[in-house]
Amino acid sequence: MFDYNCDILLEGVSLNVFFNSSQVHVADESTVADHCMTYALSDPSDSSFRQQYQHVHEEHCRQCENLDAVLDEIHTFFERVSLPSKDDCNEAIYVTKHSKEMIEAWKAHQLRTVRQDQSRLQILEQLSCESVLITQDWAMKFLPRKYRESQSDW
């Protein structure tokens, strides 16, 4: 189906390995842009949320580049392939585009998770014996919607 051999693109790209090891790749400062938390978490449009870094992002991660290449190739494939109907074609293109966006959002979430864990550990190290750290999970409901709401109703 593909015009050329996609095995080359898939070489070195295992989603399980990528998803399980992506947290290992990130660092406070890295010459790989995808791995640099200082760069990724800075907002170029708001100086209040921008942090300076003293390095150049000139290196590349083969695993990250391969993932991007595979996702782009899948999207390109569905743009070129002729499906039974125009609706099928539009849906395939939408699903591949949306899936790529979700994978990129997941990568950003992983990066924020690493930063949040670092901050939490730093706070815990600085606690005195008279201090306490309270965390709240805002994803959980605070008040039930009805009296004696069971967990299955969540």
Least confident of 90-104, 106-120, 138-152: 138-152
Rounded to whole angstroms, the Cα distance separating 77 from 81 reads 6
3-state helix, strand, coil split of the chain in percent (to 5) is: 55, 5, 40
**For the chain, which residues make up each domain, given as ranges?**
7-153
Is the C-alpha dihedral spanning 52, 56, 58, 61 positive or negative? negative
pLDDT band at 125 (very low <50, low <70, confident <90, very high): very high
Compute the average pLDDT of residues 110-137.
87
Regarding pTM above 0.85, the answer is no
pLDDT band at 144 (very low <50, low <70, confident <90, very high): low
Q: pLDDT digit string (tens) for 2-51?
A: 444 455 445 545 555 555 555 567 878 888 888 888 888 887 788 777 77
Please report, for the chain, how many H helices and E strands are present, in that order: 5, 0
Q: pLDDT digit string (tens) for 55-103?
A: 888 888 888 888 888 888 888 888 888 888 888 888 988 998 998 899 8
Which residue's entry shows tokens 């099928």?
A: 88
Residue 128 clears pLDDT 80, i.e. is over it: yes
Per the model's pLDDT, the better-predicted residue between 105 and 138 turns out to be 105
Q: Provide the 3-class DSSP secondary structure of residue 141.
A: coil
